[in-house]
Amino acid sequence: MRNLILSRHGNTFGPGDRVFWVGAKNDLPLVEAGIAQAQNLADALVASGITLDAIYCAPLQRTRQYAEIVKRSAHSKAPLIVEERLNELDYGQWSGLNDEEIGKRFGTKDLENWNDSGIWPAQGGWGKSENDVIEETGSFAKELLDAYGKDASVLAVTSNGRLRMFLKLFPDIFADYSRRKMLKVATGKVCLFVEKDAGNLTLAAWNAEPMQVLALTTGLPTGN
C-alpha cells in the first residue's frame, strides 16, 4: 500500500458552543467549519493526483458525513466502507464534560496524562480496555496491508482518541511524540503512513495540513 491517509473528522462545535469531550456515545454532526475541512481534504486529494482505492470511516455521523463529502467532492469512485474499528474511544464518564469539569470530578492528573502522554486513565469508566482497542486497531491496519497492493492509496476517517491507538502501534515513535506532547491530531488534519518495506508501515506525517502533506506523496517511497 503506497499511502494510508488517516484523517480526523472536522469540527463538531461552532463559535460560542460549549465544547466538551465527544466519545463513541456522542453522535454529533459536523458544523459548517467541519464541512469546509472535508472539502479541504478533497481539494488536496485532487491537487495531489491521488486516486483512492478505498475510503473507510467510523459509524458515527461526524466521520461518515466527512467521508461522504470527501468522496463526492473529490469525484472518487472508491467504495465507502463503514468500519467499527475506526470508532472513537468510549470516554465513559468523561463524555459530555469539559476539561474543567473532568478535572474537578476526577482530578487533573489523569486528564493531563492522557492529553500530554496518551496514558489511559485509571478513573472515569472508559469503555473497553486499552489493550483491546490497540489490538483491534492493529488488526485493521494489517488487513489493509494484506488487502491492497503496493500502489494503492486508502483513506480512513476517524477521531482523535483512535488516532493515538494507531500511533501506539509504533512504540518508539509514540514515546517520542508523547515526550514532546505532540500526540493530538486537530480536526481536519491528516496523518500519513507509507509502506516503505513490504508489509511494514512507516510514519511520514502526523497532524498535518492535507494540502501540505499530500502534495509530497509522489516523492515518497513505495513498497517492494
- The per-residue pLDDT for 71 is 98
Catalytic residue status for 88:
yes
The catalytic position among 68, 83, 88, 100 is 88
pLDDT given for residue 218 in this prediction:
56
- The reported pLDDT for the residue numbered 216 is 73
| Residues 136-168 as b or e (16 or more Cβ within 10 Å = b) | bbeebbeebbeebeeebbbbbbbbbbbbbbbbb
The cell numbers describing 45, all together, are 486529494
The pTM of this model reads 0.95
Q: Look up residue 205 and give its three cell numbers.
A: 506525517
pLDDT of the chain along its 224 residues, tens only? Answer: 889 999 999 999 999 999 999 999 999 999 999 999 999 999 999 999 999 999 999 999 999 999 999 999 999 999 999 999 999 999 999 999 999 999 999 999 999 999 999 999 999 999 999 999 999 999 999 999 999 998 999 999 999 999 999 999 999 999 999 999 999 999 999 999 998 888 889 999 999 999 999 987 754 444 43
Give the single-character DSSP code of 108.
Answer: H
Q: pLDDT by residue (tens digit) across 21-63?
A: 999 999 999 999 999 999 999 999 999 999 999 999 999 999 9
Domains of the chain by start residue, with CATH: 3-219 (3.40.50.1240)
Distance, CA of 43 to CA of 195 (rounded, Å): 24
Which residues, including other chains, have CB under 8 Å from residue 133's CB and lie 6 or more apart? Answer: 89, 162, 165
- Residue 91, exposed/middle/buried by CB under 10 A (0-12, 13-18, 19+)? buried
User: Which three-class secondary structure state does DSSP give residue 163?
Assistant: helix
CA proximity to 182, closest of 207, 155, 151: 207
pLDDT of residue 175: 97
